Amino acid sequence: MEIKFGKQKIVFQNYPLPYGAPTYSNGKIYFATGGASDTPSYMYCMRDDGTEMWKFVAYGQITSSSPLVYGDKVFFGSSTEFLYVLNANGSELNRIPLNGSVISSPVMGAGRVFAVTSEGRLYAYDYSDLTALFDVNGIQLPIASNDECKSSPVYYEGILYIATRSASGKGEIFAVNAIRVKLYGEPVQSVTSFHSSSNPELPVYW
C-alpha cells in the first residue's frame, strides 16, 4: 500500500488492503487496514508529512467506509457490532455495542453522531458525552429483512437521509427528522421514504 504526500511517497509493506476512503482533518490522515472476524484491524493516524502519530487495534473488520473525525474524537464501526470512539491521541474513549455491523460512515449533525447498521437500525449519540438520544437499541427503519444500508447517511438542517437497497436491486431514501425523534419520542412511522431506482447507494438532500 502506498500513500503520497505531495512529492513524498510513503510505502507500507505487508499491510492488508485498506477499507474505505481515508479521512483528512487538520493536517492528519486517518485510515483503516485489514481485519476479519478473528483477526485485528488497525486504525491509523498520520501527519500529512507521513509521520505516524498512532495506530489503534480493533478486533474484527473495521467496516466503516471512512472514519468520522470531528473535534477531538474519531468514530468508526466494526464487523463485531461496535461503534468505536477514540480520543485525538488514539486511545479508546468508548466502545458502544450495536445490533449489527456499521458498513457506512457515521455522520455528525446538530451536536449528534448518527450511525446506521447494515440491517437499517439507526442510532444517535450526543457528541459531548455519548449519551444515546434514541432508544439504546436504536430505531429500526421500515425495510425488509433482506434489504441493506451500506451507503453513508447525509445530515442536512435537521434531516437525516439514509439510502437502502433491496435484494431486487431497487432502493429507497428515508428522510428522518432527527431532531423531533429525540425531543418527542416519535416512532419510526414518522419517517418519510423517497423511492430511488437510479442509484440507491447515494443519498442526497433536497
pLDDT tens per residue, range 1-28: 555 555 566 655 545 556 678 899 999 9
Look up the CATH number of the domain holding residue 176: 2.40.10.480
- pTM of the full predicted structure? 0.80
Is residue 49 pLDDT above 60, yes or no? yes
Separation between Cα atoms, residue 71 and residue 40, nearest integer Å: 26
Total domains in the fold of the chain? 2
Q: How far apart are CA 152 and CA 11, in angstroms?
A: 29
The pLDDT score that the predictor gives to residue 79 is 83
Residues 9 and 74 grouped into a single domain: yes
Answer yes or no: do 130 and 83 share one domain. no
Range of the domain at 140: 106-206
Q: What is the mean pLDDT of residues 30-37?
A: 77
pLDDT at 96 over 80: yes
Whether 86 and 132 share a structural domain: no
Tens digits of per-residue pLDDT, 124-147? 999 999 999 877 888 888 777 778
190, pLDDT greater than 80: no
Q: What is the pLDDT of residue 181?
A: 58
